[in-house]
Structure 1
């Protein structure tokens, strides 16, 4: 098993349904009858619930039909309704495998959820989250990203969407299907833009400020945020952004996307001139075919050195079509379109332990340094000795498994995050802030004595302030990834306060954290977020120097 790196992270994340279906948190007050609240939006009146000081509206339609003759196209107009529409349950997620505690996935999936302290005129900052799961799974209803605590404890409005994924969201038909299908390779991203437009048009009714919107997302949601940061259609609807463990430096070139389309048609025995037959294939059959194609297109190096150069055909992700997505998000430079929009970017210190857990990889925990060389060789070849030497020199007390996790984690998510931060600094525009999440979970990876540490996806429940003691005073339950230590509550509060302050002001800050300087190319300050936050200058300097020397950063 070769180590994961950031070229393949979307492919692996697309398989990790378990991380996106973690157990429910105790957000509501048990035993109390629900209180209802109503508000008027552009398309009609809706009814939500009020729970513990938060108004919650789930399953609000923000777009019309995208099935039938609207498949692979922009949505049909959303029709107004009469009377009061209940928005008490989440809407169906995009077509994928069934998800626990959610409706059955459906092709018509354009629904969003809103959490707000009150439907008043307070003009609170809006935090618009794009879920993870690569570009093929996930939803805006995952329990770990419930927005109640952010809204209640930090006086913000939280919005999350379901949107098209996989083949139905990113199949490139522009060269076959004509003008009605323009932008087909980015339908999933344009759905998110429609969600942002809905926020602009409606969020004042929820006590939100349409002129102060932060977009953020983790893993695949970070890559989606990278794309939004580059898209002209999204630009009017947000003011700042955060890319979390999902540095989307490059997306799919349209030539590669066209190869994927040809591959799909071939598997379905459909001639290119008969592409319209795709509209007749049941969505479930398309999902089956999607699973038989190569996984979400990983980044591939042209020279086996420089990362993030190309994508192989076979997977589904946003397409650099020159119009909807005019160019790669952060290659060769940060997008001029968002020059004046502040940015947060960073990653978790132990990203790989999530994938070890998900893939049942216990062998890495048994490595000695000879085994480490063999484990890294398939990925890094002649550079392996340099990599190991640099990491052993910088971390003289680290074991072979610890070095393996460090190398795998930084290549998956860290190098791309640093690359984005550096390119943003070179714009001489709005500031960028670099972070590492470092709270250490004591939970062991099953089958090993190796702790999870700070795995991929653990930051979700922390940044949403969902690592808190139960509101009813009962004993805290073990966190899915975060473990049992009570220090996790302080780490979660710090993370959430930094993010919500950024949403409010464009500068991250928290009462129990030191001042967070903007990133620069001299001192390279990085905020390490945990129960005690600290700013570290030139973090990983020796390791990053090595990665640059071998052409991987």
Structure 2
């Protein structure tokens, strides 16, 4: 039947009837193009996707892996803010994780399920209860890895366990290293906002906007989004809480070990551009177009001799000032915050430079580190015996690495926010490995990143360790706290040890020690954290 015959047949009827007939005519082939399937399908703003059905114990789930949330950041889009996805026709299969972002193999504990590595990596993954149609709470999780490594496909971030508890769970890939955190004067010049750097964090904002636009189609409530992350992911959460670009895109926040606060403070844009210029000079490339034309693998390999994590900068767009300044003014997102750090974020050998933990060696190490402030440091981190040296130097190493930044975030948020703050101290060491190396012993404390499997209910996915009943009990408690907080903004719930919000008590601040035997204690570390705060202020590069 032609378009003309449809109009003629409408003849004596209304013009609206003709329009309706045409709509029905042209709708038929579209409906026929999408054949029925036994697998879950969802219509997004950009097109149809099809995932897979998957159980989580007795709870039926649906998984969608490798959903694009932004255009591939390649070619002219390298070092550009994320751009919208190009819509697709038909049904896009999202049953496999998208490629991980460009990165070197830096960390042995990262177990990827991604399909290779590519600069085209802006994908996210969703786990949801099957047939969920109500307004379920949502978790958006950002991985750790120093902004130079990590991936949303890692087993320890798997979202099935939390989805089985009625939470729509999302993991997000974001650009890393030189691809995500790089600045040049030419990049700032071409930006309408005169900003450069922080592309990986802009990716996270784009993902949150995608969640706001699409998560209701998965049964999630866009008004009940919790952002969370560990290490670099936690640092990102602290930055998102202060960025104007992410305001209103989340209702709660979780930080596991890390904040964008000294000694992990952001650089100035000028300093970031200086570093970028030196990197380009080392490559022998003198123009932005030539840098964008370089193969991704060549850029990646050129970063091999760079030490440390990638840097965030005060770019004037994502960040207009350091987060600590924003928080001190009370201008951060006023949302409930759950955060904490672990009992062994660092190890005493880092302070002693692998020398024996004698009081003499310890005192010499503090003199080298703190100069004329060594005696004050020794009073706060005493070392009168080898056992005390091991304890104090381990605490100092952890504070220097990442525990101090986390404590400062807690303190700033508690003092300058109307929303409650829940502070934890994770103290459950991992058990012995199933197949330890000769002479290898378990860690005596909870190492950096060691809480992830416990918090997300993923002990079973890590087959390296011989998990015990105590570990499973700790995981049930910590995941229970996380689930309750994601649902309500308060970690307390039936069967869980009571966890009070931060408040002053008996000369300190209340925090929750999470381990095989979980309970509330008083954190008495304010004096040593104040000492370190002053030390970092006088030894950090000014913006």
Shorter-chain TM-score: which interval? 0.7 to 0.9
2:61 maps to 54
Inter-CA distance 125–213: structure 2 relative to 1 (3 Å threshold)? same
Give 3-state SS (helix, strand or coil) of 1:82's partner.
coil
Q: Which ranges in structure 2 are unaligned for 5 or more consecutive residues?
A: 1-36, 106-110, 539-543
Q: Of 431, 441, 458, which aligns to 1:466?
A: 458
For this pair of structures, how many residues does the alignment match? 484
Deviations 1:7-48 (A, max 9, x none): xxxxxxxxxxxxxxxxxxxxxxxxxxx973222111111111
Q: Of 278, 292, 295, which aligns to 1:263?
A: 278
Equivalences for 1:108-507 in 2 at 5 Å?
Answer: 108-152=120-164, 154-173=165-184, 175-176=186-187, 177-179=189-191, 182-249=194-261, 250-271=265-286, 274-296=287-309, 316-331=310-325, 333-334=327-328, 336-353=330-347, 364=354, 366-392=356-382, 398-443=387-432, 449=441, 451-467=443-459, 479-480=464-465, 483-507=466-490
CA contact (8 A) 2:326 2:332 kept: no
Q: How far 1:263 moved relative to its partner?
A: 0.5
CA contact (8 A) 2:228 2:255 kept: yes
Separation in structure 1 between the aligned mates of residue 85 and residue 156 of structure 2, nearest angstrom: 30
Q: Which runs of 4+ in 1 moved over 6 A?
A: 548-553
Q: How far 1:155 moved relative to its partner?
A: 1.1
Q: Which has the higher contact order (CA 8 A, sep 6+)?
A: 1
Cα RMSD, aligned residues only: 2.9
Q: Which moved more, 1:41-50 or 1:177-186?
A: 177-186
Deviations 1:437-482 (A, max 9, x none): 11123438965656342000011111101125x9xxxxxx8554xx
TM-score by length of 1: 0.80
Q: Of 503, 516, 540, which aligns to 1:531?
A: 516
Inter-CA distance 541–161: structure 2 relative to 1 (3 Å threshold)? closer
CA contact (8 A) 2:196 2:269 kept: no
Inter-CA distance 536–552: structure 2 relative to 1 (3 Å threshold)? farther
1:73 maps to 80
TM-score by length of 2: 0.82
Give 3-state SS (helix, strand or coil) of 1:216's partner.
strand
Give 3-state SS (helix, strand or coil) of 2:51's partner.
strand
Separation in structure 2 between the aligned mates of residue 388 and residue 67 of structure 1, nearest angstrom: 52
Deviations 1:275-313 (A, max 9, x none): 2211111111111222234433xxxxxxxxxxxxxxxxx
CA contact (8 A) 2:137 2:224 kept: yes
Inter-CA distance 195–174: structure 2 relative to 1 (3 Å threshold)? farther
Separation in structure 1 between the aligned mates of residue 316 and residue 537 of structure 2, nearest angstrom: 27
2:15 maps to none
Bigger Rg over Cα:
2
CA contact (8 A) 2:430 2:443 kept: yes
